[in-house]
A and B are shown apart, each in its own frame.
Chain A
Amino acid sequence: GEDVEQSLFLSVREGDSSVINCTYTDSSSTYLYWYKQEPGAGLQLLTYIFSNMDMKQDQRLTVLLNKKDKHLSLRIADTQTGDSAIYFCAESLTGGGNKLTFGTGTQLKVEL
């Protein structure tokens, strides 16, 4: 079955860049997503990328996909204290109409 792994914790200083990494096992994954979860809240979709893309940039967010290594990363430029949250990567075989398999989540802590 699918398996999605992330490092558990990342600490950065305000203003620095954050890079959150994710590895997945299912080479059939077509869509890959990044979600943000603040304490006690649901998930907020940040961005997503199709498997035929290598990179996607959206304001402060840059997603890189290495399909050969099955590695996905999310870079947050100029990280702010409001970016402190848990970040989940997720993969889907056929897009939104199909179930998502979530990574273990990375807790990002932004320090002053």
Chain B
Amino acid sequence: GAVVSQHPSWVICKSGTSVKIECRSLDFQATTMFWYRQFPKQSLMLMATSNEGSKATYEQGVEKDKFLINHASLTLSTLTVTSAHPEDSSFYICSAPTQGNQPQHFGDGTRLSIL
């Protein structure tokens, strides 16, 4: 069964809206979670590393004020796309390693469509 739960699975909203996406680890604690973005027919690109109890680490070119990450507990990380615009429309996926250096398991992704 799923070890990482992501919610919502699909969001459609108007331009200018802020959207929050949740990523939860099920039955394990995740001090680190990762947020990826995937455009159609493309690979996954890491956006940021979410660290429990400290600031997220953003990849080059990713606006930290645009994509707010909060890792408030050992089982939950949230990604908020602030003032979303059509170019933010994408598939957002989170992941977490179950333990130490164990492989990352991925959520089912959130399809974000901004009108």
Decide yes or no whether A94 CB sits under 8 A from chain B: yes
A40-B111, A42-B93, A88-B43 given; A96·B106 CB < 8 A:
no
Residue of B93, B103, B109, B111 touching A96 (CB-CB under 8 A): B103
- Which of B11-19, B75-83, B94-102 interfaces with chain A? B94-102
Asked if A42 and B101 make an inter-chain contact with CB atoms under 8 angstroms apart, the answer reads no
Residue of A31, A88, A94, A98 touching B44 (CB-CB under 8 A): A88
Chain A residues in 8 Å Cβ range of B6: 42
Asked if B34 and A35 make an inter-chain contact with CB atoms under 8 angstroms apart, the answer reads no
**Complex Cα spacing A105 to B105, Å:** 18
Chain B residues in 8 Å Cβ range of A95: 97, 100-103
A40-B111, A43-B93, A97-B97 given; A102·B43 CB < 8 A:
yes
B61 CB → nearest A CB, Å: 12
B35 CB → nearest A CB, Å: 10
Residue in A closest to B3 when the chains form the complex, CB atoms: A45
Number of B residues with CB within 8 Å of any CB on chain A: 25
Asked if A100 and B46 make an inter-chain contact with CB atoms under 8 angstroms apart, the answer reads yes
Residue of A31, A40, A45, A99 touching B34 (CB-CB under 8 A): A99
**Complex Cα spacing A41 to B106, Å:** 10
Task: Pick the most buried of A33, A88, A97, A104: most chain B CB atoms within 10 A of its CB.
Answer: A97
Asked if B102 and A96 make an inter-chain contact with CB atoms under 8 angstroms apart, the answer reads yes
Asked if A97 and B103 make an inter-chain contact with CB atoms under 8 angstroms apart, the answer reads no
Decide yes or no whether B49 CB sits under 8 A from chain A: yes
Asked if A33 and B108 make an inter-chain contact with CB atoms under 8 angstroms apart, the answer reads no
Tell me the A74-112 residues at the B interface (CB within 8 Å): 88, 94-105
A41-B108, A42-B93 given; A104·B34 CB < 8 A:
no
**Complex Cα spacing A103 to B111, Å:** 21
Decide yes or no whether B89 CB sits under 8 A from chain A: no
Asked if A96 and B107 make an inter-chain contact with CB atoms under 8 angstroms apart, the answer reads no
**Complex Cα spacing A88 to B111, Å:** 19
**Complex Cα spacing A88 to B6, Å:** 20
